[in-house]
Each structure stands twice: as C-alpha cells, then as structure tokens.
C-alpha cells in the first residue's frame, strides 16, 4: 500500500516545524521545499537524523525541485513573508499574493489530486488565491486559522480555570484577524458551557487576548508564531489523511451557509479524506451574526484587493 505523501512549501519556521511534527506523527513521506538552496535540504536532514532518537518517521527529504513533490496527497503552503512588529496581517497582502500564486500553480501542476492547506497570511485572502490558481474543487482548498485561534482560546480558558486543555472545546467563526468571532455559547469544558464557569467580563478579556494572540507573539519574539500554527496544520492533515471526520474550525468555502455567498471564511467543518466533507451551520444570535458579518466584510475587502494581483 502506497504511503501518504505530504509536501510542505516553504522551509522557514512554520514549514520546518510542520515537517517536524508531521514526522513525529508518522503521517507519511514528507517533502520539504524551498527556493533557497540548502535550506530545505538541511532542515530535512536534521529532522531525519532525529528520527532514531524520537522514534519518528525518517521519510523526509528537502528540495528546491517541484518534481520531487509529484503526486502529493496534501500540499501545505507556508511560503510567504512573516509578520514583524508593527505589521498587520493585511500588510502582507501584495507580496504574499504573488508567492502563493506561484506556489499554487506549481502544486496544481505536479499534484493535481492534492488537498491544499494554506497557512500564510492574510490567511483568508491567501486561501482564495490558492483556490483561484489551482482551480481545484472548493472542498479541497482550505486554510489553517480556526484551529490555531481555537487552540489559543482553549489555552487561555484552561489557564484561567486551572483545568486540562484536553477538556476545553471551542468554536470560532470569521476571518483570521482582529475581528475573528470566538463563540462562548458554543465553548465548553467537558460539556459544561464556559459561560457557567467564567464571568462575561473574564470571557471578554480572553476573547480579546485570543484576537490579539498573533501580535502578542510577534511583539515578544520579533516574528510570527510558528509552533502553534504548525501544530494546527498537522492536525488538519492528520484528520484528512486518516479520514477521521474530525470537527474543527478552519477557513473553508461557504456559499449559502451563514449567508456568505461564495467566499472562504472561518467556520466549523468536518474534515475527511477528500477535504471538507461538511460545513456545520450554527444558529447565531443577532449579536453573534453582526460580529460575523463584520468579519466577513473584511474578508471580502481583502479578496477584492487580491483580484488586482491575479
């Protein structure tokens, strides 16, 4: 039986850590790719040499050659410029559009049956770029954002309550940005609504920290986060390759769902072997819907700007 094959385009912090985690989970053969000669090769070799120590998969190669990525089951796009202090995700729009455009075209050429997971920012707009360039079915192109944002929200809640992060389940909607929409009403700790355990004031504070979670890391570290985003990308890949039908929030195509009208935006979905199997549509209160519509409007604005570069 053929092994799963995962290509990770971009060997910077996020790409290399994605490869590292995927190897540890033995998800299949991994191709780490970058345009900088020696970068992907060196990091892949380092990860492979750790395999006897960590009992991870040694099936990883680094390359600058897209030919080696042929027939991948999943292509994870981490290529792009990272944020630096003082930058918003939107500031990356023009340059990263060109990078994702080029990577998406090559991914489609060499792996026409692949599922695409986009990680670079501005996330929702870059998913639109990947979908437009590859021409793949909309359920096979998605973005890693909701998993990351849910992870941050879950960690902050668990820390506040002094409970295991494993017991916290979160749901988020909207774009990956400062106007994302965490939903406390659908967030629970072992089935107990978080609204029963924390005051509105504390929940509001944790939501704000979640929205600013990315820039908090940027200001401390001087660059974008990479451990948590990489973990989010691998979690999605694991659900797809294992056909687990796991439910998680990610950037997915919505048409009639939530009244989106044909855009990629953060929603809870079911992930399986062929990608997004279903968008889960939740009943929203008026206040929640207004927040979602505000976030969606921002996503639409970015998408309109992207069209100028395609």
Q: Whole-angstrom Cα distance, residue 33 to residue 6?
A: 11
Cα distances (Å, whole numbers) of residue 22 to 9, 26, 157? 14, 6, 27
Catalytic residue, chosen from 20, 110, 176, 263, is: 176
Classify burial at 162, counting beta carbons within 10 Å of its beta carbon; exposed 0-12, middle 13-18, buried 19 or more: exposed
Question: Tokens 């202090």 — which residue?
Answer: 85
Return the number of other C-beta atoms located less than 10 Å from residue 212's C-beta.
14
Strands 5-9 and 74-77: parallel
Angle value at C-alpha 213, between 115 and 182, nearest 5 degrees: 70
> Which residues lie below 8 Å from residue 93, measured CB to CB, with a gap of 6+?
122, 125, 302, 305, 306
Strands 60-63 and 29-33: parallel
Which tokens go with 172? Answer: 């988020």
SS3 state at 279: strand
The reply to whether 263 belongs to the active site is no
Tell me how far the alpha carbon of residue 211 is from its chain's centroid: 15
Question: Tokens 């053969």 — which residue?
Answer: 29
SS3 state at 31: strand
Asked if 250 and 278 touch (Cβ cutoff 8 Å), the reply is no
Q: Whole-angstrom Cα distance, residue 215 to residue 222?
A: 9
Residues involved in catalysis: 176
């Amino acid at each position: 039986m053929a092994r799963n094959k995962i290509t990770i385009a971009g060997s910077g912090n996020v790409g290399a850590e994605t490869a590292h985690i995927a190897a540890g989970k033995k998800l299949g053969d991994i191709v780490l790719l970058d345009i900088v000669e020696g970068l992907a090769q060196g990091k892949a070799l380092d990860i492979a040499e750790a395999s006897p120590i960590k009992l991870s998969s040694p099936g990883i190669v680094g390359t600058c050659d897209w030919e080696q990525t042929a027939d991948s089951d999943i292509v994870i796009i981490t290529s792009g410029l990272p944020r630096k202090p003082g930058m918003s995700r939107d500031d990356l729009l023009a340059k990263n559009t060109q990078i994702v455009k080029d990577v998406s075209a090559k991914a489609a050429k060499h792996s026409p049956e692949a599922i695409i997971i986009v990680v670079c920012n501005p996330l929702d707009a870059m998913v639109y770029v990947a979908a437009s360039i590859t021409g793949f079915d909309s359920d096979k192109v998605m973005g890693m954002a909701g998993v990351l944002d849910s992870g941050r929200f879950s960690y902050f809640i668990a820390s506040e309550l002094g409970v295991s992060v494993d017991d916290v389940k979160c749901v988020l909607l909207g774009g990956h940005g400062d106007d994302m929409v965490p939903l406390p009403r659908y967030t629970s700790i072992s089935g107990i609504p978080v609204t029963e355990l924390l005051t509105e004031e504390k929940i509001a504070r944790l939501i704000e920290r979640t929205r600013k979670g990315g820039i908090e890391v940027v200001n401390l570290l001087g660059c974008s986060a990479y451990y948590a985003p990489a973990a989010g990308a691998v979690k999605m890949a694991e659900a797809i390759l294992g056909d687990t039908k796991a439910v998680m929030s990610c950037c997915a195509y919505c048409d009639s769902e939530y009244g989106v009208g044909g855009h990629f935006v953060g929603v809870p979905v079911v992930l399986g072997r062929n990608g997004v199997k279903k968008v889960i549509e939740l009943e929203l209160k008026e206040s929640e819907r207004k927040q979602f519509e505000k976030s969606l409007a921002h996503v639409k604005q970015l998408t309109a700007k992207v069209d100028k570069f395609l």
